[in-house]
Amino acid sequence: MTIVEKNFTAMGTAPLIDPFGRAVTYIRVSVTDRCDFRCVYCMSEDMNFLPKRDLLTLEELDRLCAAFIGLGTRKIRVTGGEPLVRRGIMTLFRSLSRHLESGALEEVTVTTNGSQLAKYARELFDCGVQRINVSLDTLDADRFRAVTRWGDLARVMEGIDAAQEAGLAVKINAVALRGVNDDAFPQLIEWAHGRGMDLTFIEVMPLGDIDAARVDQYLPLSDVRKSLMQRYSLEPIDYQTGGPARYVRVKETGGRLGFITPMTHNFCESCNRVRVTCTGTLYMCLGQEDAADLRAPLRASDSDDGLVGAIRDAITRKPKGHDFIIDRATANPAVGRHMSVTGG
Ligand code: SAM
Ligand code: SF4
């Protein structure tokens, strides 16, 4: 029996265990599908967003999170779209902080593009957030504008400064993109590590239709790793954040470098998470279509019985893993929805 199972047995509640024996203790909550950027690998330039009337209110999102915490969720990542553009979003962080104070929850984290961080960093820290991920693929302002279509690098840099000043640990996430940032990985590594930040590279995934061909963007991280090893000593370390990244220490900088490799090295066997969208749709896997509607049971009653039942039922359908393919012969994405809908 695992520690999670023992704790729950002691409490008389069954933890969420999927058909492959994996305990689900981590949720990613996408609080909006909207964003102030249009990253070329994430969205097309013309996106149709969900009508606002379909969205869960912040109070409903809070209730949903509380139901998961009651079922053993220990970690919540708030994501999107761009989570910090949702109006009133700090209300959700403030109310989630009660679970951190009570010890029911270990961690609340955020994934953000950084555009609103200068405004919100201190408040996030005051709400008990200790670590955040900021997505930043290049340090070149023109390239940054090209890759995000609408982003301003200087503003993101101000946001990162504000986050560090507020006491937040910042991890930088960079999607490895052929022809965009593949000549500047050492620069990113040295910049991030020079500022005391971890850096994680991510392989692009075939999620949703975009204006470009994925195959032209895709860069296997196995190749990136080999080329970095010509320049640096990469020492495997046993560091885990609960996510899918595998870390090394770069001996020359002393910093941590993570690799998220959904394409070249499937990490699904250790998957501990599920994702909830801003409309209350629960996706048991980022790369599969099966989903469960949690909004209807949430709204049907003030009691959480129906909601808890729907969550438990969905977990019995959590698939073994994703089946991502990026090649010239495979034109369609693995799933139709963009990463901004399911939440990164
Ligand atoms: N807007 C926030 C941000 O950019 O950090 C949060 C949401 S975004 C969807 C979460 C993460 O997903 C970002 O690090 C982004 O780079 C990554 N991402 C988006 N589309 C992707 C794709 N098709 N393949 C791999 N990563 C992707
Ligand atoms: Fe927006 Fe994040 Fe998608 Fe970029 S990756 S378009 S910032 S949701």
Please compute the mean of the pLDDT values over residues 324-335 and round it to a whole number: 72
User: Quick one: which atom of ligand 2 is closest to the CA of 38?
Assistant: 6
Asked if residue 340 lies in contact with residue 43, where contact means CB atoms within 8 angstroms, the answer is yes
Phi, psi of 257 (to 5 degrees): -130, 125
User: Quick one: which atom of ligand 2 is closest to the CA of 338?
Assistant: 3
Phi, psi of 67 (to 5 degrees): -65, -40
Q: Ligand 2 in contact with 82 (CB < 6 A)?
A: yes
pLDDT digits (tens, 9 = 90+) for 43-73: 998 899 999 999 999 999 999 999 999 999 9
Rounded distance from Cα 245 to ligand 1 centre (Å):
14
Lowest pLDDT segment from 99-113, 114-128, 201-215: 201-215
Rounded distance from Cα 295 to ligand 1 centre (Å):
24
Higher pLDDT, 50 or 262: 50
Phi, psi of 111 (to 5 degrees): -110, 125
Rounded distance from Cα 1 to ligand 1 centre (Å):
35
| pLDDT of the residue at 10 | 46
- Give start and end residues of each alpha helix (H) in the chain: 3-11, 58-70, 89-102, 117-126, 141-148, 153-166, 185-194, 214-217, 221-229, 295-300, 305-315, 339-342
| pLDDT of the residue at 320 | 85
The answer, yes or no, to whether residue 5 has pLDDT greater than 70, is no
| pLDDT of the residue at 331 | 67
Please compute the mean of the pLDDT values over residues 297-305 and round it to a whole number: 97
What tokens were used for 281?
Answer: 């749709």
Gyration radius from the chain CA atoms: 19
Q: Ligand 2 in contact with 43 (CB < 6 A)?
A: yes
Q: Ligand 2 in contact with 86 (CB < 6 A)?
A: no
The answer, yes or no, to whether residue 134 has pLDDT greater than 70, is yes
Exposure of 26 in the CB half-sphere (CA atoms within 13 A): 14
Lowest pLDDT segment from 100-104, 192-196, 204-208: 204-208
**Class of the 3-342 domain?**
alpha beta
Asked if residue 183 lies in contact with residue 228, where contact means CB atoms within 8 angstroms, the answer is no
| pLDDT of the residue at 287 | 80
Longest dimension (CA), the chain: 60
Measuring from atom 8 of ligand 1, which residue has the nearest CA? 344
Asked if residue 64 lies in contact with residue 297, where contact means CB atoms within 8 angstroms, the answer is no
Assign 205 a pLDDT band (cuts: 50, 70, 90): confident
Rounded distance from Cα 321 to ligand 1 centre (Å):
19
Assign 1 a pLDDT band (cuts: 50, 70, 90): very low
* Residue 193: Cβ-neighbour burial (10 angstroms; 0-12, 13-18, 19+): buried
Assign 33 a pLDDT band (cuts: 50, 70, 90): very high
Measuring from atom 2 of ligand 1, which residue has the nearest CA? 112
Ligand closest to CA 82: 1
Residue with tokens 């370390």: 237
Q: Ligand 2 in contact with 281 (CB < 6 A)?
A: no
Instruction: Return d(Cα 144, Cα 182) in angstroms, integer.
Output: 13
Assign 333 a pLDDT band (cuts: 50, 70, 90): confident
Q: What percent of the chain has pLDDT over 90?
A: 75
Please compute the mean of the pLDDT values over residues 256-264 and round it to a whole number: 90
Q: How far apart are the first and last CA of the chain?
A: 31
Ligand 1 site residues, Cβ closer than 6 angstroms? 35, 41-42, 79-80, 82, 111-113, 135, 173, 175, 202, 204-205, 207, 339-340, 344
Assign 7 a pLDDT band (cuts: 50, 70, 90): low
Instruction: Return d(Cα 155, Cα 168) in angstroms, integer.
Output: 17
| pLDDT of the residue at 13 | 66
Lowest pLDDT segment from 35-39, 75-79, 206-210, 220-224: 206-210
What tokens were used for 142?
Answer: 């023109």
